[in-house]
A = this chain, B = another copy of it.
Amino acid sequence: MWEVLVELDRTRAGLTDQLTGALRSAIGDGRLAAGTRLPSTRNLAAELMVSRGVVVEAYEQLSAEGWLLARRGAGTTVAATPPRPAAQYTPPDPPRGPLHGPAGTGARATVLRPGVPDLAMFPRAEWRRAYERALRTARDADLDYGDPRGAPRLRTELAGYLGRVRAARLDPDELFVTTGAAQAFGLLAAVLRQHGATTVGIEDPGSPGIRGHLTAHGLRLVPVLVDADGLDVGALAASDAHAVLVTPAHQFPTGVVLAPRRRHELLDWARRTGRLIVEDDYDAEFRYDRDPVGCLQGLAPDLVAYVGSVSKALAPGMRLGWLGVPPDLRQSVLAEKAAADLGGPVLEQLAFAELLACGGYDRQLRRSRLVHRRRRDALIGAIRRHLPQARVSGVAAGLHLVLELPAGVDDTALAAAATRVGLGPVPLSAARLGPSPPAGRPGLVLGYAAHSPDELESAVRTLAGLLDA
């Protein structure tokens, strides 16, 4: 019996380890039942033709671990340990996917799905060089537990970069490196809740992904309508929102830019009420017709928390984001970040600092902007050719556009039909939260960053066929 249960490979060293492991797994999977009495060390050694010491050591090890019970005078028996329970269900798809896109969907780069960049453009060679340099030049002390806000060098580079490119005014002391924008929103949610602020204004239409994320953090959402000038600040002021989440540079999904007058109304609201503006600068690097509009945070660093990430410019899988907070929130965000994870991985932070410092990030943005612009133009051309009844809205920016459809079209049904044939548009009505049935024109949010002009053309042709059907 024991020779079958315990197959030893005499050509390999470590007979004790082999015996220990074999007995452990026989107990673990139930082949050796609880209560089974084991042979004496002498007998088992004889049967397996190993020295007695091997068996003695294995029994001792397994007794110390709790697999065997050794009772003086009563020999050694198998302890009661349940076998590893077999998985009783098919694991469902875990939640995943971009915050700026459909909630809880798969992350496949389906044609026309918004929120995903072209992952083939990830600058592998440049990133490898930056990482190598970071690894080579890091001091030993950099590998220790560090500042929970992130590597000081990256926070300094990032504050400079965001000042230069986004006109942000960030003090590295108030800048946090986060695990993507998702963690930044989570930290802010926790700090708001701590201050008793549980109601947050969100743009309507807005991102279903963000809505799900904030709700998961225990916040109650108040939809605030977006018009051609961006968020309706009057409606916000009339609500009981303790904070507001806005996308001023390129509203998601409509693509409108928050108008200058609205910017000041919004800042006035925050100053007057002591409430917080959260600026989600999610794709502001991508503007194709002119310089991007500088961020709101730069106008009033004491009123605005600023959130960004490399998800659109490099890749979402980097999980590298940032959060700049007003000085009076610094301590509570720091405590939350330390409680969350004591800070993020340092080597990729230093590599990103290298990439910023050597201009590699700027180069990558320039390359992506060119490609995105061509793809946007291709998508718009295809729409003109195949969907002349539809209208494209929003400024020339970002990684998606909004296709407004003739009144009466059921955009949810159209998107569902498109999904069935492998496309990924998001119906505009899914982006709306407000009064039901959803107000406003039907439409589709279409991503164009991840696919070639030909793929986009063919996708639009398919869409037109579905609309005619």
Interface residues in chain A, defined as those with a beta carbon under 8 Å from any beta carbon in chain B: 17, 20-21, 24, 28, 61-67, 69-70, 79-82, 84-85, 87-88, 91, 94-99, 107-109, 116, 119-120, 122, 124, 127-128, 131-132, 135-136, 140-149, 164, 167, 169, 171, 173, 178-180, 182-183, 186, 213, 216-217, 257, 260, 263-264, 267, 290-291, 293-296, 298-302, 315-320, 327, 330, 334-335, 338-348
Contacts and interface: CB of A to CB of B under 8 A. Distances in A.
A264 B144 contact: no
A339 B299 contact: no
B341 A296 contact: no
A145 B97 contact: yes
Contact of A334 (B85, B94, B290, B301): B94
A346 B317 contact: yes
Contacts of A116: 144-145
Contact of A66 (B81, B122, B263): B263
B260 A69 contact: yes
Q: Which 6 A-B pairs have the closest CB atoms?
A: A66-B263, A179-B341, A143-B315, A317-B346, A119-B140, A65-B294
Question: Assembly of this chain: how many copies?
Answer: 2
A299 B81 contact: yes
Most chain B Cβ neighbours within 10 Å, of A67, A94, A317, A345: A317
A96 B148 contact: yes
Contact of A341 (B84, B148, B183): B183
A300 B302 CA distance: 52
Contact of A146 (B128, B317, B346): B317
Nearest to A70: B260
Nearest to A257: B64
Contacts of A340: 179, 182-183, 186, 340
Given A135-B124, A146-B317, A179-B345, A298 B24 contact: yes
29 contacts: A21-B164, A24-B167, A61-B293, A61-B294, A65-B298, A66-B299, A67-B299, A69-B264, A81-B299, A81-B300, A84-B171, A85-B301, A91-B330, A94-B148, A94-B334, A97-B145, A107-B146, A109-B141, A122-B143, A128-B132, A128-B135, A131-B131, A178-B341, A179-B342, A179-B344, A180-B341, A217-B339, A319-B342, A345-B345
